[in-house]
Amino acid sequence: MKNKLDSILKQHNLDGLIALGGSAHNPAMYYLTNGASIGERSLFVKPRGRKGVLVVNAMERDEAGKSGLRVLDLHTIQVAALAGRPARVGTPARAQAQLLATILRQLGMTGRLALTGLQDAGFAAELVAQFNRGRFGSTIVYAPEVLSRAAVTKDAEEVARIKAVAAKTVAVVGDIQDFLGGHRAKDGVLVDKAGAPVTIGVVKARINLKLAEMGILDAEGGTIFAQGRDAGVPHSRGQADQALRLGETIVFDIFPAEPGGGYFYDFTRTWCLGYAPEPAQALYDDVRAIFDQVMGALKVNAPTSDYQRMTTDFFESRGHPTIASQPGTQEGYVHSLGHGIGLQVHEAPSLSVRSSERLTPGMVFTVEPGLYYPSRGLGVRLEDSVWLNPATKRFEVLAPYPLDLVVPVRKR
Amino acid sequence: MKNKLDSILKQHNLDGLIALGGSAHNPAMYYLTNGASIGERSLFVKPRGRKGVLVVNAMERDEAGKSGLRVLDLHTIQVAALAGRPARVGTPARAQAQLLATILRQLGMTGRLALTGLQDAGFAAELVAQFNRGRFGSTIVYAPEVLSRAAVTKDAEEVARIKAVAAKTVAVVGDIQDFLGGHRAKDGVLVDKAGAPVTIGVVKARINLKLAEMGILDAEGGTIFAQGRDAGVPHSRGQADQALRLGETIVFDIFPAEPGGGYFYDFTRTWCLGYAPEPAQALYDDVRAIFDQVMGALKVNAPTSDYQRMTTDFFESRGHPTIASQPGTQEGYVHSLGHGIGLQVHEAPSLSVRSSERLTPGMVFTVEPGLYYPSRGLGVRLEDSVWLNPATKRFEVLAPYPLDLVVPVRKR
């Protein structure tokens, strides 16, 4: 949680934290500035034990003020940074390093500093090299875990926001299920009143419209609605021009967010329209069995890796290849069991075999076992997101929704 | 244009280009992978004079294939990177450096390499430090302009996509104008049929819905619909709970994009509902005059800074403070005249006084003069986006739309 930042800085022997960039699609900056809507040239600086300071272009001052942080004017600091120097300070990275040094001097900040925020990788490398060469009394050191260790547990307000996105997400899923179930089939293909095939493109357009009605959006542009063979490739998005066919597995994985870089939800169901052929049902039954088993076995303080191992053990016992016995396999169980969600759709903790994390009160994470057989034309994944409620120590699914495989369609 | 990448690499004495990260909200990666929808652990590597190679998690292989690039499996390369080494290679940055080195070795790539793509700034700095310390036969050097110099001019397909977003944008603007004009006023406030005030929040919800209907979205979560005093602060988004008042300036600045990190458009009008009070009309007249003057004066190969100077000269002659005579002013003309649009809402070229760029065939950029007086409760900005058509050498507004200040409302 954000209120642990100072203790995490202390544990890492850090004197402060710097973040760069705008708040949109820059989770670190969004997090540290409490979601203020600020532009790409913004800087955040926080001395350990003191409140952060936000430096923005004056045009952004109203929105920056909503951060609750002290706001400084970028232009004023630029003038100070240039005082006594030639007007040209070399490359943009060098100018940025001098700007940072000026801010730190004004704040009386020195020592070992962590740096975060999304930046062009080449620019960031040069900025740090220039800064550390500048002998400003501070050094930027590599401390990748400061922010992720804070953000890995969510406070009440964060959970409330994720829950709100969750409720909207399943409302959209419900609408889509009703939409599909309201159609009839012809020659094994879902058709509309005029007899025209219902395509994945039509479904996706409806998803986006319903998300907008709810005030959330597919920020990553990546909603998965993939059937048959494509359902067997975990991150295939599905093909817009494809008609929906009865009896094929459809993986529907949706991960919308609040507009402007806010909180995500992550949710997957697998559907068969009309009926489930035996191989699809059998695959579903295996995924459902381990899904239920994991959900029932979640325990406070348990290593997250235990659940990945539980999943690979179960799938192996059912005769499926998994990445435990066949690293790199593209058939069977091919990914880790889950991941944290928050301002990123994928963040800590990782429910993978290499993770050393434990299930900690305040964590919000996905549980998403799946089985994939592209060569046989099918795949199944089920995913709910879970919050470990610090008050009750219970694991709560943030938005319960039926897990059924078959979506009946109209008879005529 | 993308087909100039090799010649730009050559001019910078670079042997190749590396890009990191997923394609969503990572313009460099989106650009280099032709918009393939790939996840955050992806890598792009391009030796000069050869086609780029894309390295992704196998789960992403279908989407990666849409890039048209050769696709390699991340897992296979990870195995190769670990061959003969202990299983743990230290920090994530060090592991990533060794992974990169392995890919470069497989591609037979050496020499001076540029690095781009959005990454956590601290991680990127450590990655480059580790890589350059690794003596892999290659060095990552600072070359910030490679990609922006390619992307500053757009090819025909890019312009077609921006134009499509532009047409949808003005369709949404038209809908909102009709929506507002379809209401009546009561006590100086716009009201609905039931007599309830129409708020900025209501308008913004409608904007997002209409964008979704058009298949585009407010990717930055930043649509500006700001009235009165807020219109006088260029990047104030407007206050959702505020009722729309007649006779106030409303700055409506909308910059939607294709879903998933695609092309942006950028467009601004200033409206007064019902009528324009004299101070608003006078301010508008000044902005409109220089807007028309600039649009009429755009010339192939002219320095972009000329137009910023033209604008500050004009506004000064009309008695407005500007950043030319009063750097840091927050009243009058407080920003530069425009910027490129593309996969970023702000990119090269800059129409500012410090820019050394020239108007070049293929550029797409905004022209957006404005005047701001928050202390007097008003602000005006007009913005169209322009393409310098390489075939005709003409400057084309990508989506013409009336510039009128007053939006009449229903009499009763």
Examine the domain organization and report whether A329 and A205 are in the same domain.
yes
Tell me the pLDDT tens digit for each residue of B125-150.
Answer: 999 999 999 989 999 999 988 999 99
Domain boundary among the residues B118, B135, B151 is at: B151
User: What single string gives the DSSP state of each residue in B4-72?
Assistant: GHHHHHHHTT-SEEEEES-STT-HHHHHHTTT----TT-EEEEETTS--EEEE-GGGHHHHHTT-SEEE
Q: What are phi and psi of A206, to 5 degrees?
A: -65, -40
- Asked if the Cβ–Cβ distance from B120 to A118 is below 8 Å, we say yes
What is the distance between the alpha carbons of residues B372 and B283, in angstroms, rounded to a whole number? Answer: 9
Contacts of A350 in chain B (CB under 8 A): none
What is the distance between the alpha carbons of residues B59 and A330, in angstroms, rounded to a whole number? Answer: 8
Q: Which of A142, A218, A234 sits opposite B91 (nearest CB)?
A: A142
Q: Is residue A345 part of a domain?
A: yes
Contacts of A45 in chain B (CB under 8 A): none
Which element (helix H / strand E) includes B271?
Answer: strand B267-273
Average pLDDT for B243-264:
96
- Asked if the Cβ–Cβ distance from A140 to B122 is below 8 Å, we say yes
At A84 the pLDDT is 60
Tokens 């597919």 -> residue: A218
Task: Give the Cβ contact number of residue B194 at 10 Å.
Answer: 5
At B90 the pLDDT is 72
At B88 the pLDDT is 56
Q: Which of A124, A208, A334 sits opposite B58 (nearest CB)?
A: A334
Q: Is residue A56 part of a domain?
A: yes
Of chain B, the percentage scoring pLDDT greater than 70 comes to 99
Give average pLDDT by consecutive 10-residue segment, chain A, 412 residues.
96 97 95 94 96 94 95 92 66 92 94 97 97 94 93 97 98 98 96 96 96 92 95 94 98 95 96 98 98 98 98 98 95 97 96 96 98 97 98 98 97 78
Distance from CA of B86 to the nearest CA of A (A): 15
Examine the domain organization and report whether A122 and A185 are in the same domain.
no
CA B130, B136, B142, B147 torsion-angle sign: negative
- Fill in the amino acid letter for B109: M
- Asked if the Cβ–Cβ distance from A120 to B116 is below 8 Å, we say yes
Q: And the tokens for A316?
A: 């192996």
Examine the domain organization and report whether A64 and A202 are in the same domain.
no
Examine the domain organization and report whether A88 and A74 are in the same domain.
yes
Beta bridge partners of B396: B387
Given a cut of 60, is residue B5 above it in pLDDT?
Answer: yes
Examine the domain organization and report whether A133 and A188 are in the same domain.
no
Q: And the tokens for A166?
A: 């969750």
Residue A33's alpha-carbon distances to A45, A116, A220, A396, B214, in angstroms, are 10, 13, 22, 28, 32
Examine the domain organization and report whether B275 and B376 are in the same domain.
yes
Q: Is residue A161 part of a domain?
A: yes
At B84 the pLDDT is 60
* Residue among A12, A44, A126, A268 with most chain B CBs within 10 A, to mutate: A126
- Asked if the Cβ–Cβ distance from B58 to A20 is below 8 Å, we say no
Q: And the tokens for B255?
A: 């910059």
- Asked if the Cβ–Cβ distance from B212 to A211 is below 8 Å, we say yes
Contacts of B60 in chain A (CB under 8 A): 235
Contacts of B62 in chain A (CB under 8 A): 230, 233, 235-237
- Asked if the Cβ–Cβ distance from A221 to B37 is below 8 Å, we say yes
B169-179 CB burial, b ≥16 within 10 A, e <16? bbbbbebbbee
Distance from CA of A360 to the nearest CA of B (A): 23
**Domain CATH code at residue A39:** 3.40.350.10
Q: Which of B125, B205, B220 sits opposite A260 (nearest CB)?
A: B220
Tell me the pLDDT tens digit for each residue of B155-165.
Answer: 999 999 999 99
What interface predicted TM-score (ipTM) does this complex get? 0.95
For B118, nearest residue in chain A (alpha carbons)? A120
Contacts of B140 in chain A (CB under 8 A): 122, 125
User: Domain containing B64: what range?
Assistant: 2-151
Q: Which of A115, A211, A328 sits opposite B125 (nearest CB)?
A: A115
Examine the domain organization and report whether A57 and A39 are in the same domain.
yes
Q: What are phi and psi of B260, to 5 degrees?
A: 80, 20
Contacts of A328 in chain B (CB under 8 A): 58, 73, 75-76, 79
- Asked if the Cβ–Cβ distance from A219 to B126 is below 8 Å, we say no
Q: And the tokens for B12?
A: 């910078």
Contacts of A121 in chain B (CB under 8 A): 20-21, 115-119, 124, 127-128
Distance from CA of B355 to the nearest CA of A (A): 13
Distance from CA of B374 to the nearest CA of A (A): 11
Contacts of A58 in chain B (CB under 8 A): 328, 330, 334
Examine the domain organization and report whether A256 and A138 are in the same domain.
no
Examine the domain organization and report whether B175 and B137 are in the same domain.
no
Q: Is residue A109 part of a domain?
A: yes
Distance from CA of A296 to the nearest CA of B (A): 28
Q: Is residue A45 part of a domain?
A: yes
- Number of folded domains that form chain A: 2
- Asked if the Cβ–Cβ distance from A60 to B235 is below 8 Å, we say yes
Examine the domain organization and report whether B10 and B43 are in the same domain.
yes
- Asked if the Cβ–Cβ distance from B143 to A122 is below 8 Å, we say yes
Helices within A12-120 (DSSP H only): 27-32, 61-65, 74-82, 92-107
For A123, nearest residue in chain B (alpha carbons)? B144
Alpha carbon B112 to its chain's center: 29
What is the distance between the alpha carbons of residues A351 and A367, in angstroms, rounded to a whole number? Answer: 8
Helices within A39-144 (DSSP H only): 61-65, 74-82, 92-107, 121-133
Domain boundary among the residues B124, B151, B178 is at: B151
Residue A218's alpha-carbon distances to A4, A67, A208, A214, B12, in angstroms, are 30, 25, 7, 12, 38
β pairing state of B184-186 and B189-191: antiparallel
In terms of Cα–Cα distance, which of A400, A253, A259, A272 is closest to A338? A253
**Rounded to the nearest 5 degrees, what angle is found at the Cα of B159, between the Cα atoms of B156 and B160?**
85
Which element (helix H / strand E) includes B307?
Answer: helix B304-317
**Rounded to the nearest 5 degrees, what angle is found at the Cα of A390, between the Cα atoms of A388 and A393?**
65
Contacts of A368 in chain B (CB under 8 A): none
Alpha carbon A216 to its chain's center: 14
Q: Which of A57, A63, A208 sits opposite B212 (nearest CB)?
A: A208
At A142 the pLDDT is 94
Q: Is residue B412 part of a domain?
A: no
Examine the domain organization and report whether A63 and A163 are in the same domain.
no
Contacts of A324 in chain B (CB under 8 A): none
End-to-end CA distance of chain B: 53
Q: Is residue A232 part of a domain?
A: yes
Distance from CA of B216 to the nearest CA of A (A): 9
Tell me the pLDDT tens digit for each residue of B61-90.
Answer: 999 999 999 999 999 998 888 876 655 557
Q: Is residue A412 part of a domain?
A: no
- Asked if the Cβ–Cβ distance from A93 to B330 is below 8 Å, we say no
Domain boundary among the residues B130, B151, B172 is at: B151
- Asked if the Cβ–Cβ distance from B118 to A121 is below 8 Å, we say yes
| Omega prior to A144 cis, within 30 of 0 | no
What is the distance between the alpha carbons of residues A250 and A231, in angstroms, rounded to a whole number? Answer: 6
Q: Is A375 exposed, middle or buried (0-12, 13-18, 19+ CB in 10 A)?
A: exposed
Would you say the pTM of this structure is higher than 0.90?
yes
- Asked if the Cβ–Cβ distance from A120 to B125 is below 8 Å, we say no
Examine the domain organization and report whether A75 and A188 are in the same domain.
no
- Asked if the Cβ–Cβ distance from B330 to A218 is below 8 Å, we say no
Residue B400's alpha-carbon distances to A8, A397, B197, B388, in angstroms, are 53, 49, 31, 15
Distance from CA of B363 to the nearest CA of A (A): 22
**Domain CATH code at residue B262:** 3.90.230.10
